A and B are shown apart, each in its own frame.
Chain A
């Protein structure tokens, strides 16, 4: 059933067994898994069924680091959440992603790959990427890529899949909930408070508003926060203000270890292997992408982070060193500084002057000058970088408040020197494999580092780690069942529970964790006994 929160009577109290706070991919998957059970479920979402600017504005942050994307743009505050604008790029985490890696501080999940593997298949159904898995052994022969890396020592090809058009979770999976006998969706229901019984260590009620000055309560046996990687932490920090950190924050972990996936073209692949052009292809209603990544063996031996490295062909214009150097020189000289690699950039500017002129002509005069700009020149690698979980990368509450009187979000985030160094080292290893396999030669664009980690840095917009999963409350916010430490009946769903974020987009894993959480809440998971 779908209920408009604005139509409720002031002071109305909803009683339910499970209250899900947030209707993005995590919340909608969870509600679907509980649909048809003997549990009464209320799913509260802060938005309606479409984008509305006056609702979206509540995602405005107070302060965001330079170059980091505005959270008002990277998230969507209506049913379906960020799935309303995602690319549907999915692949599972690897076993190593869950392990404690002694060369990466704060790594290690309290669950292993095998704990989540049974749920990935169901997750793929929700993401509508098909039931045929992500196995390279299956897909690479079909894509005629199986022998491309047969001599490789350090890297391999893996598969990502996306449904076309991308799955909008509410559009695709909301109807069954609207027609459900036991799931009630409340739209325009923005949660503003949680009531905690300190003696019983249980959440008693959630209070929400429908942006109309009226407040309503939900009394529930169990609550699940599923508002997204930033909002889960923001709301938990807000709720904790009254309870001195007793809601999973006695060790000051909420909001910390914030991770994203920086994306960048940090290397060019010079190659004549035309099969690289068929690394991606349409397969019915799906888009398949083969991407390079390092093997588990070399990650362990060389103590590296992993990189997700798809390749796409690039023109002389796209590959131009001169244009890149022009921007680096311009940015530095404006600030009255000399950039690193000054003479390299100066030389690039001179030797690649035709492409610089081409860029100026395109930008200033909307015209093209040189035909050679269109010539294919190699491959770029729009790679996604694994980010190390670091305590000082965090979200916290600003003193400024939104129209509901709730503190706005502030973000502190950067890519550490160690993370950058590991990225370059990982690329060096990959470069060796390009030589071993005779695919080509890799050119590392080190001289562009100031822009790669600056104005040219892209993002997955994958907000992870802010309510991390751990064995102990000293090191995390939720336990292996996604239950908040110190609270008997509060759970968290979504990528905020990821202790590490791998180098792959998170939604498939978010969805798998939601299916697993649903089994836990239903008490049907093998080996599970509610305390």
Chain B
């Protein structure tokens, strides 16, 4: 009984966190992902001093070819052109590609 009371207390405490309630709502999770993409986009721009779209455009039409895209990513890793976001070490090109999802 005591344990149940303890659990209820914890549940109440958790639900008092302003955003925690929203977690139960699927749309809120999507919002979290959008926030993350937005943050990635801003940090990419801050780091490289241009927009990801402009960078991707500078790669030419080849970027639409999956093999070219993969080779470019591999080359980024080879030359050390990597971008760390949330601890994940990504290539510059793939980080740019992912961040532009927010504009779709």
Contacts and interface: CB of A to CB of B under 8 A. Distances in A.
A423 interface: no
B19 to A, nearest CB: 5
Residue of B19, B82, B89, B90 with most partner-chain A CB within 10 A: B89
B87 A444 contact: yes
Interface in A417-438: 428, 431-436, 438
A164 interface: no
Interface stretch (A116-124, A351-359, A384-392): A351-359
B74 A438 contact: yes
A160 interface: no
Contact of B17 (A350, A354, A361, A433): A350
B78 interface: yes
A446 B7 contact: no
A431 B20 CA distance: 33
A442 interface: yes
Interface in A484-526: none
B77 A436 contact: yes
Contact of A444 (B32, B70, B89): B89
B43 to A, nearest CB: 13
Contact of A443 (B3, B17, B86): B86
Interface residues of A, number: 30
A354 B14 CA distance: 10
Interface string A147-159: 0000101000000
Contact of A435 (B6, B14, B23, B73): B73
A364 B3 contact: yes
Nearest to B84: A444
B88 A443 contact: yes
A171 interface: no
A438 B78 CA distance: 12
B23 A441 contact: no
B14 A443 contact: no
Interface in A441-457: 441-447
A435 B89 contact: yes
Given A351-B32, A360-B10, A436-B74, A443 B87 contact: yes
Contacts of A434: 89
B91 interface: yes
Contact of B74 (A350, A354, A435, A443): A435
A442 B88 contact: yes
A64 interface: no
A453 to B, nearest CB: 16
Contacts of A270: 88
Contact of A353 (B23, B70, B88): B23
B91 A445 contact: no
B89 A445 contact: no
Contact of B7 (A350, A351, A365): A365
A447 B19 CA distance: 22
A493 to B, nearest CB: 43
B37 to A, nearest CB: 14
B89 A431 contact: yes
A75 B40 CA distance: 49
A153 B14 contact: no
A432 B14 contact: no
Contacts of B89: 428, 431-432, 434-435, 441-444
Interface string B1-24: 001001100100010010110010
A432 B82 contact: yes
B78 A350 contact: no
A365 B3 contact: yes
B66 interface: no
Contact of B87 (A357, A360, A445): A445
A236 B10 CA distance: 55
B60 interface: no
Interface of B: 3, 6-7, 10, 14, 17, 19-20, 23, 32, 70, 73-74, 76-78, 80, 82, 84, 86-91
Interface of A: 151, 153, 267, 270, 349-351, 353-354, 356-357, 360-361, 364-365, 428, 431-436, 438, 441-447
11 contacts: A350-B17, A351-B32, A353-B23, A364-B10, A365-B7, A428-B82, A432-B77, A432-B82, A434-B89, A441-B90, A443-B87
Given A270-B88, A353-B14, A433-B77, 15 more contacts: A153-B78, A349-B17, A353-B23, A356-B14, A360-B10, A364-B6, A365-B3, A365-B7, A428-B84, A432-B82, A435-B74, A435-B82, A442-B88, A444-B87, A444-B89
Name the 9 nearest CB pairs between A and B, nearest first: A435-B77, A431-B89, A443-B87, A444-B87, A432-B77, A443-B88, A436-B77, A350-B19, A442-B89
